Amino acid sequence: MKPPPLRLLCDSNPMCYGSSAAMLAILEHVDAICTAMVRDVTAELLGRDKAVDGVIHVDNKSPMAVRDAVDLAQFDAVLVVSNQSNVALYTEVGLPIFFVDVLYWCGARKDQPVWRLAERSFVQQFPGVEERVQKQAYREPPVVVGPLIRSVPAHKAHRTGTLIQIGGARSQWIRPGENSSFPRMVVDWICHNELELPRPWTFAGGREAAKVARQHPLADQMDVVSYPYDEFLNELHGSELYVTTPGQGAIFEGLRTDVDMLVLPPQNATQVLQLQIYEQFGLVSPGLNLMALDPAFDSSLLQSTEERLTPEVLQSLRRIDSPEVADVVGRHLQRQYKELAKVRSARQEFVEFLGAPGGSVVAEALSRWWSEQWM
């Protein structure tokens, strides 16, 4: 029996660029009518992407708001990426859940109800993920998938310029405005130090970040843009050099594109932890993390929860907002650029460790499940 079109509700974490980017990396392989719940960052990414057929503006961190705004009976399944707020609601109305955790290696607990209530669950590969899966007593362990990044567009013949990306720093514990200095600091690190990086320079960030960056007096040295995801990837593939915060998807995309890449200091708690791992793997030499830049940083909180680490990270970012630290970061970036050859083998090893992009694996599971229902 030929299945009818799958009506898929899409629920990604509105606090996290990576969650929505991962959602799009899956949706580009999914044959379904896709409706995304959007708010803030998710509206920026999902609301203007051709992989999404429609959006519902709703605070999808609030099950009550979702219940009021979304007619859940109109959907056959929900694809949830790193947002557990509505799991009980979906279960109550009988909406099958496909759950993806993009930050499985991070966070105190991995035994929440979603791990037994989801039809299928997936976790994005990262150092520590497989060990953690094995330690948990899941009745049905999640499938570990490769990087949830979009397909690589055709390479441009000539790569030129430098693309600097900072995404958008949000988390459950960062309120708007609390780390608004970071885009300005990045402009400062690059422009004030007159780094010898390929020109022209393009600064890519979320709308709020781009707005802040444009206010820097030296911002006229770069083109400050807030790209839709597809356009960002095209820009990345046409760039000679990529400078990025130590996010997850942003680094994965740089590695997959095989563009020369420099790493910036972190702007939130998970990036602090990720940068530690990138340093351990030799993707970037030590010296850029908050523990190195800020002698007052309380390293004991690294073992704590994101909730407890975040205020310390935000305070630390304020402490390193100084000309002295800008000089240190500028010198580090320049050294990274001169020593790109030194990280090539580490990059290759890390790419092999991560495996092939995983969006199609999740999409295939969805498609297979939907077909099964109609047999």
Question: Given the rule CB under 8 A, which of 49-57, 62-70, 114-122, 349-357 is the region that contacts other proteins?
Answer: 114-122
In DSSP terms, 163 is beta-bridged to 202, 242
Q: Does 375 bind other proteins (CB under 8 A)?
A: yes
In DSSP terms, 374 is beta-bridged to none
Residue 124: Cβ within 10 Å count: 29
* Helix (H/G/I), strand (E/B), else coil: 81: strand
Q: Does 94 bind other proteins (CB under 8 A)?
A: yes
Q: Does 142 bind other proteins (CB under 8 A)?
A: no
In the chain, which ranges are continuous DSSP H helix? 17-27, 41-46, 63-69, 87-93, 114-117, 129-135, 182-187, 207-214, 229-237, 249-257, 269-280, 290-293, 306-319, 323-338, 344-354, 359-373
Instruction: Kindly identify the residues of this chain, within the stretch 234-263, that bind other proteins according to CB under 8 A.
Output: none
Smaller CB separation from other proteins, 9 or 186: 9
Q: How far is the CB of 117 from other proteins (least distance, A)?
A: 6
Q: Are 44 and 72 in contact (CB under 8 A)?
A: no
Q: How far is the CB of 291 from other proteins (least distance, A)?
A: 42
Q: Are 181 and 320 in contact (CB under 8 A)?
A: no
Smaller CB separation from other proteins, 18 or 96: 96
Q: How far is the CB of 312 from other proteins (least distance, A)?
A: 38
| Binding mask of the shown chain, residues 36 to 75, with x at each position contacting other proteins by CB under 8 A | -------------------------------------xx-
Number of residues forming the site for other proteins (CB under 8 A): 20
Smaller CB separation from other proteins, 41 or 114: 114
In DSSP terms, 34 is beta-bridged to 8
Q: Does 118 bind other proteins (CB under 8 A)?
A: yes
Q: Does 140 bind other proteins (CB under 8 A)?
A: yes
Q: Does 217 bind other proteins (CB under 8 A)?
A: no
Binder of other proteins out of 112, 151, 345, 373 (CB under 8 A): 373
CA distance 104 to 194: 38
Q: Are 274 and 247 in contact (CB under 8 A)?
A: yes
Q: Which residues of 209-233 are buried (b: 16+ CB within 10 A; e: fewer)?
A: bbebbeebeebebbebbbbebbebb
Smaller CB separation from other proteins, 35 or 316: 35
Q: How far is the CB of 90 from other proteins (least distance, A)?
A: 9
Smaller CB separation from other proteins, 9 or 255: 9
- Tell me which residues touch other proteins (CB under 8 A): 1, 4, 73-74, 91, 93-97, 116-119, 140, 369, 372-375
